[in-house]
Amino acid sequence: VISHGVARGAFTCELCELSSPYTFYGQKPPNTRGIVLLEECYGMRDPFNPEKEKFLLLGSKCSVCNKTVCVGTECSLFYTKRFCLPCVREHLDQFPEQIQTELAKKKSPNSRDRWSPEDEL
């Protein structure tokens, strides 16, 4: 049984240099039934949740360039697979319009901090 107890190393985003110890890598966060990740992820115990089983995904590898990137919207996006933003920009035409407008919106400040369901869909 894998647990979140011991850090397996430090995860560092190759784009923004965000760094944190991670406790698992793969598609199955430890001690969770019924959750499967759709990509191989670096993750840790959710540090803001008192329950031990709750996890937090930190990042994964870009499916195009294989760079390790964090899940932050400034660095990567997930659309059936993980793409780092430089790769998304390079292949922007292959992404649906919704993603393209979203990316364009991101350039304007203030849109980052506030989440609304609108951003999600």
Partner 1 sequence: MSERRSDSQDWDWSSPQCRAQLDEIFFRQHDYIQANSPEHQEFWTFFERFQRFKARKEMAGSKNNRGSNKAESHEGKARKKSGGGAVDLGLPKVYDARYKINVSVCSRDVEHGFGSSGHRRHREPSGPGRQEIADCRLALLHFLDFTQKQSFGKVVKLRQEQKNLPIFQYRERIVALVRSHPVVVVAGDTGCGKSTQVPQYLLSSGFSQIACTQPRRIACISLAKRVSFESLNQYGSKVGYQIRFETSRTPATKLLFLTEGLLLRQIQQDVSLAQYQVLIVDEVHERHLHCDFLLGVLRTLLALRPDMRLILMSATINIKLFSSYFSNAPVLQVPGRLFPIQVIYQPVPPEEQASKSEKLDPRPFLRVLQGIDQRYPADERGDLLLFLSGVAEISTVMEACQTYAAHTKRWIVLPLHSTLSLAQQDKVFDIAPPGVRKCIISTNIAETSVTIDGVRFVVDSGKVKEMSFDVKAKMQRLQEFWISRASAEQRKGRAGRTGPGVCYRLYAESDYEAFAPYPVPEIHRVALDSLVLQMKSMGLGDPLFFSFIDPPPSSSIQTAVTYLKEQGALDVHGQLTPIGRLLAQLPVDVVIGKMLVLGSLFSLLEPVLTVAAALSVQSPFLRSAQHNPDCSTARQPLNSDLGDPFTLLNTFNAWVQVKGERGGGSKKWCKRRGLEEQRLYEMVNLRRQFKELLRSHGLLEPEKHSVQLAQDRAQRRKRLTERQRLFQLKREHDLQEGSHRKVLCLEEGLGGEPSSGSDSEGTRSGKKDKDSAGQDMDIQEVKFKLRHNVSELQEAAYISADLSSRQQVLLRLVLCRGLYPQLALPDEHNSTRKDSEQVFHTCNKQGVVIHPTSVFASDPEVLHVPEYESSKFDADKGQSSRHQLLAFVTLLETNKPYLSNCVRVPALQTLLLVANSIDSNADCSRLVVDGWLELNVSDGEAALRALSSALTLRGEWESLLQAQLVHAGPSSTTGLGFTGPKLSRRKLEKLADGLIRFLVYTEVSYSLRRLTALQPQNLYIGPQLNMELSLPQLFPGMSAEPDPVKGGLRVTNYFTYNCLCDFKDLYSECLRIFWSCPHCDLRLPLTPLERMQHEATCRFAEEQLPEDDPDTLKAASSSSLTRLYHCDICDKDLTLTSTEILRHKRQHLP
Distance in Å, CB of 84 to partner 1, minimum: 13
Per CB under 8 A, 8 contacts partner 1: no
**For partner 1, what does the binding mask look like between residues 73 and 102, x meaning CB under 8 A?**
----xxxxxxx-------x-xxxxxxxx--
Q: What is the SS3 assignment for 54-98?
A: CEEEEEEECCCCCCEEECCCCCEEEECEEEEHHHHHHCHHHCCHH
- Cα 51 from chain centroid (whole Å): 21
Q: Of the two residues 107 and 118, which places its CB atom closer to partner 1 in the complex?
A: 118
Q: Indicate which single residue of 14, 25, 28, 46 sits in contact with partner 1 (rule: CB under 8 A).
A: 46
